[in-house]
Structure 1
Amino acid sequence: MTYRLGVDAGGTFTDFILADDQGNIHLFKATSTPEDGTRAIAEGFQQIAEKIGKPMREILADTELCVNGTTVALNALIQHKGVKTGLICTAGHEDSLEIRLGHKEEGYRYDSEYPAARILVDRHLRRPVRERVLADGSVHTPLNEDDVRQACELFQREGVQAVAVSLLWSVANDRHERRAVEIVREMLPEAYVSAGLEVFPQMREYTRTSTTVVNAYLGPVLKAYVDRIDQFYREQGTQVPVRYFQSNGGMASREAMVSRAVNAINSGPASAPMAGSYFCEPLGISNYITVDMGGTSFDITLTHQGKTNVNKDIDFLRYRIGTPMIQVETLGAGGGSIAWIDQMGILNVGPQSAGAQPGPACYQRGGTLPTVTDANMALGYLNPEHLLGGRLEVDASAARQAIARHIAEPLNISVEKAAHGIYNIVNNNMANGIRRVSIERGYDPRDFALVGAGGATGLHLTALAQDIGCRTVLVPKLASGLCAFGQVISDVRYNHMAATPMRLDTSADLAAIEARFLELEAAAFETLRAEGTPAERIRFRRSIDMRYVGQVHECTVDIGTLPVDAANLPLITQGFHDLHQQLFTYNEPESLIEIINIECVAIGQTQPLQPPRLADGGRVTDAVRTRRHMTFHANTPTVLTTVYDGERLGAGDVIEGPAVVEELTTTIVVYPGWTLRLDASGTYVMTQNQN
């Protein structure tokens, strides 16, 4: 028997998925240990060994795929705990990171008191070098190598650990930048070097420089983590190289991840759409919104007609990043989000979180502030004695006391009403996030199913779906580890990019564009083959950044595998017109179009995973575990509600709400007016009853 192992390290819990070639899929959870991720992994390994009945070394010896998703890079960027970084740039462009194209974030554009973003490179460590390449690739001013050497001498004196190199128009002629990188590596052999022509070789100087700096700032942090994880896996008996999950929705090798640390920023939630597809396809669903509520955050991704939204050239945590990332809307709304009352006497929830330590008050780990989990406990939704199948003992009275002291008594309301207020506020925050990825991008959420991921999501999904108008909700039995599951069924994915500015007029050299695509694909093919991917499992997808001449921003047009030639040009341009219409409600078919950048996505396909198949159900009453009083509306009495044991439900079983289903690692609340059915694929399908 062979296995696949996915590990997703979140802010509160680390999730483990172990899948074998017989269709068995096992889910495990351990408390995250941010100070040393291997401790949480060791705890998860112990759980796996006990469940499978074999030493972990034997299991790992038979494991053909190990994938690790991590929040290390994200946390380092949030907390500004990257390394001391220097920047080498073209003279006159030292302040582009601070000028930021004059950009100010939405919502703060006219706020004169909104603080400036913290710049990741101190001003005296942004070193100018005299050189100038023009837009056509010709050299106007040769590279002054002494400037580069002087910058390296300064970096050495200042204890700089990472150096970013981004020269103007290096995408048109890379000789100067490559030479500068050579000098840095010669003079600072211990430093992490991030080159713009390697990290983001596309148009837009500010975006390229910012992305290169973020990559340098995070690179040594991620490298230290990857080195520690790799060593731990080897010591445990792993025979295959560990793969790491990227923000683009695919796996990468250790070497690729270390050199492109910027691609690890949204590593965790980026695998959710792949897992969503796995469970939606058997049900004939191609439009779905995946929502992942863990202990710290709430992550949202949207997939339309089987295609998940991808962002490029965006501001993430106030830093411009150009590399492709699965569009994830992240909110500070998790089970550990803290409820509090502001100076106006108004109830708020989050973004502050109790995290794994001390955690919610009911966890009995020292937490005293009321959280969303405590509210769910007070409403009766959660088991008042233990969670995680008995591995986590809880105290319902501690939850009620925290809510009473900090919320109910100051507002002079009952604990139940206060708990329901917390529940409603966090639901409203999540609904607004869903509207941002759907309505604000031209999609109607009523046309989508909601797919639940994360341990806390099932508690809120039917109420949330009711709020935004979704009539179908899916909660896989693996919901609390859905991202870890998405990792083990995902492909290796690398983005290869190039700047190719060209107007699509009568003089357009389409053959040059096609030749550049073929060059990128050849290099990508060699990379994947060197990593061990068989040639027959290597695929490519192409896209082109296009705009009308005179526009500031471009649209990324997916052209699949189409060759760029005169025969296909009408299809490509029509694709641009159609996308422009979808995004901006208008297009200009009579206007001249220009190409800015091209991109090739190289995919190393993994073998399909054997799907699980549940046994048929029987009498639903046999699965009744207990009954508890629950609150579903603030101003109505509690309802004695049936609680079902998910392990005793089978395919085809149907339950009418209100009800609660307790799985080993998650709890599903079926709101009044909703019906739950367990599908043979292992997915709970909930639909709202027609009025």
Structure 2
Amino acid sequence: MRTQYRLGIDAGGTFTDFILADKKGELQIFKVLSTPTEPTKAIKNGLALITEETGLTAQEIVSNSDLCINGTTVGLNALITHNGAKAGLIATKGHEDSIEIRLGHKEDGYRYDPEYPPATMLVPRNLRRGIRERVISDGTVYTPLNEDDVRDACRHFLAEGVESVAISFVWSVLHTEHETRAAEIVREMMPDVRLTVGSQLYPQVREYTRTSTAIVNAYLAPILQRYVEAIDAYFRELGSQHPVRYFQSNGGLALGKVVSDQSVYAINSGPASAPQAALDVGAPWGEKNIITCDMGGTSFDITLTKDGQANVNKNIDFLRYRIGIPMIQVETLGAGGGSIGWIDSMGLMQMGPQSAGSEPGPACYGQGGENPTTTDANLTMGYLNADGLVGGRLPLDVKNARGAIQSKIADPLGISIEKAAYGMFTIVNNNMVNAIRRVSVERGYDPRDFVLMGAGGATGAHITALAREMGISKVLISKLASGLCAYGQIISDVKYNYMAPAPIRLEGAPAAAKLDSLFSGLEERGLKDLAGDGFAEDRISVRRSLDMRYVGQVHECTVEIDQFDVTEARLEDIKAAFHTRHKELYTYDEPNSDVEVVNVESTIAGHVDKPDRMKIAPGLGAESALKGTRPMVFSAEGITQDAPVYDGSAMGAGDTLSGPAVIEEVTTTIVVEPGWTVNLHESGVYLLTSDAAEA
């Protein structure tokens, strides 16, 4: 049952975004600077801003909200900065170093580079303890569990001040008793420690992936637990009638307890909601092939949706750590509004990945930043209003911006400040284009078959330049673009993934019965969990997938199937789906080869009511929103030209204009390059089309 409000909060590296929706369909966006060292402070500041703008107190909003949803970068930041918990590993003796051996894998691009440093181990060697026990590949016990070894490990961890423990044994997914008993001993001897059991967190075949996933979870669990407890307590103080939901990397919502226990699911919490938001924004045009670009102050995130489905990755190396659980594929690079421009040892201009963040921020923020950033370049080129960002709450200092560019870029290169600014703009765009190619071209997709969606506060200044470079002729930018991920959160469903190992060759009735039993068991658990979460059966849906391969292959691919009774006859349908998927991925299939399953998974979703889409009144013509002109730079020569500036809040449905121009929304600025036409749709979305494509 919808109550008065729904609140979405997306905490980024530089800004924290708030989307407030009410029953009437009105959507409002608010933005405050993030407080990385004290994440709850940004939420308090944001609610204070909402009170100032609307007159509603934080208590009124929260106590009358059916859902308060939080997407956070707490886990991601801890992993990036290696500032997680002190964790220990309990592993099968002789396998303590599997996370360091990494299956002999070296990252692509560095395979033959002897100087490339090894990944930092989240659990150092002295905190990895081998336990005498062994289960073999058919699930039988070869060596019983030595409980004294587990107790010795606990005593060592207590002496070392370990606050989180991961347990991962060889073939534990086929015989869980050893891990279960080890966990009981750890809980008995270390009652205050956070505990991650590999066969429970990630019950899938592949020891290295399972161990690495468990370690990442253990490394983040105390951090996320403290964060969740602080957020939950704060919202209870405000009178929340419902538990806070947290956004997960799998694209769904979860309760705080789930996020605390399964912290690895919160790593890409923020940007994982972008595909859901993009599909909603593109719905009036029936767009289902969308590349979403989210440029904030610190990073640039790209997600791709094909035929209405977001790319989901499993078993990937994320920040150099293997993670097995399903995650919305998000390509991230250090290219944000705070990306710092610098000159390398060869005298070439570079942008990022270093970022000025929100503290001290770009030079133009006037908070002590001395390095030139993307935001300083955009201000210098006339794209941004010197009166300030976020509706003037963050004034910008043009003199500081120009001074930083002159001293660090222009003078060393012997060029004008305007040329240097446009060079910075071009380089950061090229970095982003390369990242877009990684999620499209390198995965077999032609980006020209997609719409480019702008998200994040800084993307609007670059979106037509990015589309031009990619050959994309159609761009969509919502008035809510700078908070698009927060919007995606309030229209997303609760979602949990349930997994089981299934080393089964797809032949005969016993194989069919085993698969049917596994899926039924997983889905029974999921339905029970979501029923306990308040969802009626008619509000729950199930999606199934299998990790499959030809017998003898080393790697498997994920195949989605419908929910049905798995009989011997239906095994042929599953094999046909695998052959089709294999051909899509690798350009060939082997219909006469035997097929086997490795793992199975059921994704259970509880569907929440969606707020109404934004609707704006018809406009009086773009001319009525004209604020004036500003000198702007649109070429590498650095020559300025006067271009019109429009007040986005004064534009209405049907208003049309042509570039060059700038549209200033409260929380974002849209730069329309020459050769582009803009039309504002009644859903509050700007449709930008390339004049060259129309010709």
Partner residue, 1:654: 656
Match of 1:334 among 318, 333, 336: 336
Q: For 1:159-213, what per-residue CA distance to the aligned partner results, in whole angstroms no more than 9, with x for missing partners?
A: 1111100111111111111111111111100000000011100000000000001
1:321 has 2:323 as partner: yes
In structure 1, distance between residues paired with 2:77 and 2:504:
39
CA contact (8 A) 2:303 2:310 kept: yes
1:340-359 mapped onto 2 (5 Å cutoff): 340-359=342-361
Partner residue, 1:234: 236
Give the AA of the match of 1:383.
N
CA contact (8 A) 1:372 1:422 kept: yes
1:25-424 mapped onto 2 (5 Å cutoff): 25-424=27-426
CA contact (8 A) 1:471 1:688 kept: yes
Give the AA of the match of 1:240.
H
Give the AA of the match of 1:642.
P
CA contact (8 A) 2:224 2:260 kept: yes
In structure 2, distance between residues paired with 1:29 and 1:612:
18
Partner residue, 1:542: 544
In structure 1, distance between residues paired with 2:569 and 2:305:
31
Q: Which moved more, 1:666-675 or 1:140-149?
A: 140-149
In structure 2, distance between residues paired with 1:489 and 1:507:
42
Give the AA of the match of 1:288.
I
SS at match of 1:386: coil
In structure 1, distance between residues paired with 2:355 and 2:60:
38
Displacement of 1:636 in angstroms is: 6.2
Partner residue, 1:15: 17
In structure 2, distance between residues paired with 1:375 and 1:439:
29
Partner residue, 1:677: 679
Residue identity (%)? 58
SS at match of 1:428: helix
1:427-446 mapped onto 2 (5 Å cutoff): 427-446=429-448
In structure 1, distance between residues paired with 2:622 and 2:511:
67
CA contact (8 A) 2:89 2:215 kept: yes
Structure 2 length-normalised TM: 0.98
SS at match of 1:393: coil
CA contact (8 A) 1:502 1:508 kept: no
Structure 1 length-normalised TM: 0.99
In structure 2, distance between residues paired with 1:657 and 1:331:
29
Displacement of 1:637 in angstroms is: 2.9
SS at match of 1:226: helix
1:461 has 2:463 as partner: yes
Displacement of 1:505 in angstroms is: 2.8
Give the AA of the match of 1:114.
Y
In structure 2, distance between residues paired with 1:366 and 1:560:
57
CA contact (8 A) 2:505 2:597 kept: yes
Displacement of 1:508 in angstroms is: 5.1
Give the AA of the match of 2:87.
T
Q: Which moved more, 1:136-145 or 1:680-689?
A: 136-145
In structure 2, distance between residues paired with 1:316 and 1:624:
46
Give the AA of the match of 2:367.
R
Displacement of 1:565 in angstroms is: 2.1
Q: For 1:367-388, what per-residue CA distance to the aligned partner results, in whole angstroms no more than 9, with x for missing partners?
A: 1110000000011100022221
In structure 1, distance between residues paired with 2:348 and 2:568:
62
Give the AA of the match of 1:141.
T
In structure 1, distance between residues paired with 2:581 and 2:99:
31
Q: Which moved more, 1:120-129 or 1:325-334?
A: 120-129
Mind listing any 5+ residue stretches in structure 1 that lack a counterpart?
none
Q: For 1:493-550, what per-residue CA distance to the aligned partner results, in whole angstroms no more than 9, with x for missing partners?
A: 1010000101113475211111111101111111111122222211111000000111
CA contact (8 A) 2:75 2:220 kept: yes
Displacement of 1:560 in angstroms is: 2.9
In structure 2, distance between residues paired with 1:570 and 1:450:
39
CA contact (8 A) 2:452 2:467 kept: yes
CA contact (8 A) 1:548 1:591 kept: yes
Match of 2:476 among 474, 477, 485: 474
Displacement of 1:343 in angstroms is: 0.9
In structure 1, distance between residues paired with 2:347 and 2:312:
40
